Structure 1
Amino acid sequence: MKILLLQFKLMMMIALFFGTTSANAQKAETPNQSYDLGSSINEMTLTVGGVLVVATNDGLVGIRPTESQPVFRFNDFGKLKPEETQFVPNSPYIIVTQGVGSKFAGIAKTKRAVIDYMTGKVIFNSDTDNWNQVFTCDVVLPQNKLILSGIQKEGDKFEKTTPKVAVYDLGASKLDYSFFLDKPGRVGVAKDVSVTGTPLLLKDMLIIPTAQGLVAKSHTGEDIWTTKIKGINWMVADATEKEIYGFETTSNGKNTRIHKIGNNGAELWKDDRKVQGNISNFQILPQGLAVVSDKSDGGSSSVFSTKNESEIAFLSANSGEDLWDKAPKTKGYVQHFYVQDDGILFGIQQGGINKISFDGKTLFKKPLKTGENILVMAESPQGLIYITGEDANIVDLKTGDQVWKKPLKYKNSAAVASTFDSAKNRYLIAADDTVFAIDANSGDVSELAKVKFDEKEAANTMEMRDGNIFLSASQNLMMLGDNGDQKYHGYYKSPGKSGFMKVMGGVMAVASTGLAMAHAAKAGMNKTGYGSSNNLRNYNDYGKENQRAADMFASIGDASFNMMSQRFKATAATENAQFILTKLDDGVGLVKVNKDTGNVDKEIVLKDKKPEYQVDDLAGVLYYKANDKSIYAYDLNK
């Protein structure tokens, strides 16, 4: 009986293996859409809105797979270099720049255009709007405005050479208002009135940082006030918009000066406050101002050079004075920074977690030692869970005491994956070819399973699926039962060289969405209604990025943002399938693998040893560069 049972199990395993690699999968040689772009293709970019933007020798082309014709063609400026095309984060906008601007009229001509890739509208074009030069061009969200400065070829001879600022309504695709930065035809010594940083748009005014000082204008362009505070790079206002902080990078680039201004233009601090390094995080709190600045030695090997580390300061909003007698030591760069009710929690990239109260007292009994590269810091019912490339643990958020008896340690992994098994009330962590199970109540650790992926890959994704544990990497995927037994292992040979590590750095509590929620070039700069990134998230909320993105886009209310919101409300194509590029019998191709069964549901042969392609994980679309001038789109959902 035992022999018969073993034979039956063996037959089932063989059947399952062939089921995962069989030729019964649907093959798709004919694309659902094909696009002849009429010009050589140089680059393909999949946007957050789901439109594929293709750079050709003629310009830019936008493709939406549900439409047989491109959403737009922008050939006004001809061929564009990669650095001449800027995709504005978390928006449907592309800023195109050609030529090098000058703050002095007549030196060089610049061309700028702003394209809404969702609708295909060209909202602004410096050629058609008679701008000879555009020095700065900023999209401001969530107000959905475009603010630019430059020289416009309109008016008399003086107006044609006087710098001006214009504000456009991006949703309505029209000019709101414009104004000159200097009086046209003014007699006297020439003034440099160039814009030095990002303007700050408030409810009642627009503040422009210039080389002569800050200029405040009404929303119709009338003068409100000016100051002599020069060279501001970026600004942020408090919730009331009555107090404004301006940040000025010093000439050597190693320090930052902070100025405080009232909404009437008055300087509210007797002296500005200087901090070492460039500010990477800034938050206005009821208790004061939290500031993180990053110092760099610039590559110097001198013993007197600056240390490569972050400084954390807590300043008085009233005076700018440091409220802490002694700043916490970081000995590295701040990788995580969270504001909580009782103080500030921070994690260091080189390892270490600490918490300090708003009055400068250390809340943890001693700094917590961790491995390098803290991939996850999140709140759980048991406390703060952290996961690094070397260890994991849960600690008490009040004291820093370990909740687990000792940290889970593993060999430094290029990738670590984790999830929470609510049915068994346990954390699961995959690292060093092992799946560890940690009881949420007791903290007891056990090795649940050994995971051996081909091509020396490490699992970078883990999720619970109907009580089973799904793991995957670039070329491998595996399903384990809740007791660690292997249900299936699918391996699809990489089309390139095998035997090297192909992993995505980072920890994923569940499948990622591909949408980065924080794109700010500088922390706190023109903070929008998207919410603060300094809030410690709950570990079990890591899978809600799609809904957060949908809500974020919907809050703006514009038609293009609504289209983007609907995209993130839809079920992601990767929820039940994984798309893998591999070697097939007929050549290199993409396979769609069912996560629950391990079966290949679809094959698309690309017949190209090194195919150029993009996969939209959310919509389930494969874009393939079929030849020098053509793009094919395949629907992976069918």
Structure 2
Amino acid sequence: MKISNTIRLLVCTLLVTVAVQAQKAETPDWRYDVGAKINDMTLTQGGTMVVATNDGLVGIKPGSNELLFNFTEYGRVKPEELTFVPAAPYVIVAQGGFANLSSKKTVIDYISGKVLFSTEGNDWKIVSTLDVAMPQNKLIVSGLRKDGDMAEKNTQRVAIYDLNTGKEDFSFFLNEPGKTSMKHFAVTGTPLLLKDKVLVPTSQGIMAKKPTGETLWESKIKNVNWMVANESETDIYAFDVNDNKTNTKIYKVGTAGQELWTDEAKVKGIVTNFQILPQGLAVVSNTYNEGKSILAGKSESKIAMLGAANGEDLWGKAPKTKGYVQHFYIMEDGILFGIQQGGINKVSYDGKTLFKKPLKTGENILTMAETPQGLIYITSSDANIVDLKTGDQVWKKPLKYKRANAVSSAYDSKNSRYLISADDELFSIDANSGDVSTLAESKFDGKEDPTGVEVRDGGILLTSDQNMMLLDWEGSKNWHEYYRAPGKSALGAIIAGVTAVATAATAVASYNAANQNRNKLGQYTDRGQRYADLGDGMAAASGASVAEMLKRFKATAATQDAQFILTKLDEGVGLVKLNKDTGAKEKEIILKDKKPVYEVDDFGGILYYQADNNSIFAYDLKK
């Protein structure tokens, strides 16, 4: 999550059991002078605030006024030079291109503050590729080193580093140093780290290397971009995207490097999702044909089921998507998918349509999840529950509403009903009968729509940036609090949840752990499930920083019983803390800034506020 000059307002909560008098909190709990002009702030998944400045990169971790780290070796760091590794406690700083002899790359553990790898500190002249492999917690680097004789300095090398210690495990050359050859060896994609070897895709084929550097086997499959393996590592799939990104070739490789398919499989477009199954490989690929001739076909997703034995498409005629696949789930009897432009269907592994007919839905499917009654789906304009076997509607008729600016939902277990907020109405759907009724009108002040629905002990809470409203179980209003925004410039988008699961191409290094369940249809839950799923994906990794990050993923939000609203107070612009159960104002934090730049860590319970060009204040919201 990044903060720029545009205000980004997070709705957060705070555990409070007793209402107290409002108190001023201008004095921060921690102050940080980052030493240079602040250009960008990023709240990481691990809870550390990483700040890019004119002098470098700074890490902030409340609990001390000292900086966690202050990386100044590269001077000014631009936001686009940072890569935060998903579901891992690392940020990669990269300056200079691959062909630039002065290209610089550093890996920082933003939980401990340690620099684990740098091109300068590890004698690399050129780094061609740099990839983090999880759950092994390793770093795989390829390029040219400065050490060795002249021949070795000019021979492509690969090294594996332990990210728990930063020390090199082993390294090897792609070809023999000094050996005259007309072949050019270069790493062309992301290496795949397996239990007893590493597979390196190169311009001359895939190489399998032991930790000793010994070559186990070589494949003639050239220019592969990325690879994945099944859990037992008996089947390896290699993906090669052509230069204009219109097609992807897929190869299946055995444990000895042999090609298991007589011919490679080809799918149109770029692979965006996949799942290795006993039947073979289920693949989603996207085509992007805007601006091209009519003969290029539509811009849409393609779905294929490639047979394990020969790579042939088991479906022959793939199901029509007429849009992009937004949801893709692996079920016992087949594949369930939802289309962004509207529509849900289910296909068996042998290509038979399992629903009586494709289910028509509104556009933008926000939610697909399992319930005791079947599959619930919620879009920007309708909702229903359908039978997962047949596709039949469970509710007598789908809930329809105008294409809403904001749609939110919750399950009221006390009264066995689903609650959906849209179009200034709160709808109630009986979980047993499917009967739909309007529970309450929910018009908010300030031309806002409710963006959150939450079931509390004392009723139903509706929230937005500037509004909070608590309804009783019959839909009558208990209270409504509204605080006017300090101005248009202070209105910001709500940043909800955590970074979504990466696309297939960026997630391949951690596929065998973190992405194993990414295509599993989850149970309908109110909140926090995505964070918990990230924690499940990290469970196989080791290391103190990984363990600390895992605790955060598994924890309940530290701020769960109050909301903070930005408004104009008597002493200037600031935040008010409101109790979610009573609406009472419990605290004011005066920021003394008409356009405050700030971010709230709702899991850690910390407010970060950029007090001036060089300073950040942090407030402990758990008090």
CA offsets 1:563-582 (integer angstroms, 9 cap, x no match): 11222344313311112222
Percent identical: 58
Matched, 1:590 2:545: no
Matched, 1:174 2:167: yes
* 8 Å Cα contact 2:490-2:595 kept in structure 1: no
Give the distance between the partners of 2:527 and 2:313, measured in 1 at CA.
Answer: 35
Report the counterpart of residue 235 of structure 1 in structure 2.
Answer: 227
Change in Cα spacing, 1:323 to 1:552, as seen in structure 2 (3 Å) is closer
Aligned pairs, how many? 603
Give the distance between the partners of 1:504 and 1:474, measured in 2 at CA.
Answer: 8
Matches within 5 A, 1:29-428: 29-102=26-99, 108-189=101-182, 191-300=183-292, 302-428=293-419
Which range moves more in the overlay, 527-536 or 254-263?
A: 527-536
Report the counterpart of residue 487 of structure 1 in structure 2.
Answer: 478
Give the distance between the partners of 1:332 and 1:520, measured in 2 at CA.
Answer: 17
Change in Cα spacing, 1:583 to 1:299, as seen in structure 2 (3 Å) is farther
Report the counterpart of residue 630 of structure 1 in structure 2.
Answer: 615
Q: CA deviation at 1:516?
A: 3.2
Structure 2 counterpart SS, 1:561:
helix
Give the distance between the partners of 2:85 and 2:162, measured in 1 at CA.
Answer: 16
Q: CA deviation at 1:523?
A: 7.8
CA offsets 1:545-599 (integer angstroms, 9 cap, x no match): 4444444444323100111122234431331111222222221112222111111
Structure whose alpha-carbon radius of gyration is higher: 1
Q: CA deviation at 1:287?
A: 2.2
- Aligned match for 1:464, one of 447, 455, 458: 455
After superposition, the CA RMSD in angstroms is 1.9
Give the distance between the partners of 2:504 and 2:317, measured in 1 at CA.
Answer: 29
Change in Cα spacing, 1:392 to 1:550, as seen in structure 2 (3 Å) is same
Give the distance between the partners of 1:569 and 1:467, measured in 2 at CA.
Answer: 26
Structure 2 counterpart SS, 1:596:
coil
Matched, 1:557 2:550: no
Change in Cα spacing, 1:130 to 1:556, as seen in structure 2 (3 Å) is same
Structure 2 counterpart SS, 1:560:
helix
* 8 Å Cα contact 1:225-1:265 kept in structure 2: yes
Structure 2 counterpart SS, 1:304:
helix
Give the distance between the partners of 1:53 and 1:542, measured in 2 at CA.
Answer: 25
Matched, 1:518 2:511: no
Q: CA deviation at 1:24?
A: 4.3
Q: CA deviation at 1:521?
A: 4.6
* 8 Å Cα contact 1:282-1:523 kept in structure 2: no
Q: Which runs of 4+ in 1 moved over 6 A?
A: none
* 8 Å Cα contact 2:381-2:401 kept in structure 1: yes
Structure 2 counterpart SS, 1:54:
strand
Q: CA deviation at 1:405?
A: 0.9
CA offsets 1:55-97 (integer angstroms, 9 cap, x no match): 1111011011112201111111111121111111111101111
Give the distance between the partners of 1:559 and 1:259, measured in 2 at CA.
Answer: 38
Give the distance between the partners of 1:594 and 1:31, measured in 2 at CA.
Answer: 21
CA offsets 1:476-500 (integer angstroms, 9 cap, x no match): 1111111001111121222232899
* 8 Å Cα contact 1:455-1:498 kept in structure 2: no
* 8 Å Cα contact 1:281-1:524 kept in structure 2: no
Give the distance between the partners of 1:268 and 1:257, measured in 2 at CA.
Answer: 14
Give the distance between the partners of 1:161 and 1:504, measured in 2 at CA.
Answer: 51
Letter in 1 for 2:322: K
Give the distance between the partners of 1:34 and 1:401, measured in 2 at CA.
Answer: 58
Report the counterpart of residue 612 of structure 1 in structure 2.
Answer: 597
Structure 1 counterpart SS, 2:406:
coil
Change in Cα spacing, 1:334 to 1:140, as seen in structure 2 (3 Å) is same
Give the distance between the partners of 2:574 and 2:372, measured in 1 at CA.
Answer: 44
Give the distance between the partners of 1:441 and 1:617, measured in 2 at CA.
Answer: 35
Change in Cα spacing, 1:186 to 1:127, as seen in structure 2 (3 Å) is same
Give the distance between the partners of 2:34 and 2:376, measured in 1 at CA.
Answer: 50
- Aligned match for 1:576, one of 548, 561, 569: 561
Give the distance between the partners of 2:548 and 2:512, measured in 1 at CA.
Answer: 20
CA offsets 1:375-430 (integer angstroms, 9 cap, x no match): 00111111111000000011111111111111100010121111111111111100
Change in Cα spacing, 1:43 to 1:590, as seen in structure 2 (3 Å) is same
* 8 Å Cα contact 1:118-1:560 kept in structure 2: yes
- Aligned match for 1:435, one of 411, 422, 426: 426
CA offsets 1:225-247 (integer angstroms, 9 cap, x no match): 11111110111111221111100
Structure 1 counterpart SS, 2:31:
strand
Change in Cα spacing, 1:64 to 1:597, as seen in structure 2 (3 Å) is same
Q: CA deviation at 1:455?
A: 2.3
Structure 2 counterpart SS, 1:336:
strand
Structure 1 counterpart SS, 2:547:
helix
Change in Cα spacing, 1:552 to 1:248, as seen in structure 2 (3 Å) is closer
Give the distance between the partners of 2:537 and 2:508, measured in 1 at CA.
Answer: 18
* 8 Å Cα contact 1:460-1:503 kept in structure 2: no
Report the counterpart of residue 6 of structure 1 in structure 2.
Answer: none
* 8 Å Cα contact 2:307-2:314 kept in structure 1: yes
Q: CA deviation at 1:373?
A: 0.3
Give the distance between the partners of 1:307 and 1:522, measured in 2 at CA.
Answer: 22
Give the distance between the partners of 2:591 and 2:200, measured in 1 at CA.
Answer: 52
CA offsets 1:149-192 (integer angstroms, 9 cap, x no match): 11110011111111111100001221000111122111243x32
Letter in 2 for 1:251: D
Give the distance between the partners of 1:232 and 1:65, measured in 2 at CA.
Answer: 44
Which range moves more in the overlay, 581-590 or 240-249?
A: 581-590
Letter in 2 for 1:137: L
Letter in 2 for 1:544: Q
CA offsets 1:264-308 (integer angstroms, 9 cap, x no match): 1111111101110111111111222211111111433x3223201
Letter in 2 for 1:26: Q
Structure 1 counterpart SS, 2:294:
coil
Letter in 1 for 2:35: G
Give the distance between the partners of 1:120 and 1:230, measured in 2 at CA.
Answer: 39
Change in Cα spacing, 1:244 to 1:551, as seen in structure 2 (3 Å) is closer
Q: Which structure 1 residue ranges, 5 or more long, are not aligned?
A: 1-21, 506-511
Matched, 1:455 2:455: no
Give the distance between the partners of 1:195 and 1:592, measured in 2 at CA.
Answer: 53
Structure 2 counterpart SS, 1:158:
helix
Give the distance between the partners of 2:454 and 2:220, measured in 1 at CA.
Answer: 56
* 8 Å Cα contact 1:459-1:503 kept in structure 2: no
Letter in 2 for 1:283: Q
* 8 Å Cα contact 1:131-1:151 kept in structure 2: yes
Structure 2 counterpart SS, 1:455:
coil
Q: CA deviation at 1:39?
A: 1.3
* 8 Å Cα contact 2:489-2:595 kept in structure 1: no
Structure 2 counterpart SS, 1:539:
coil
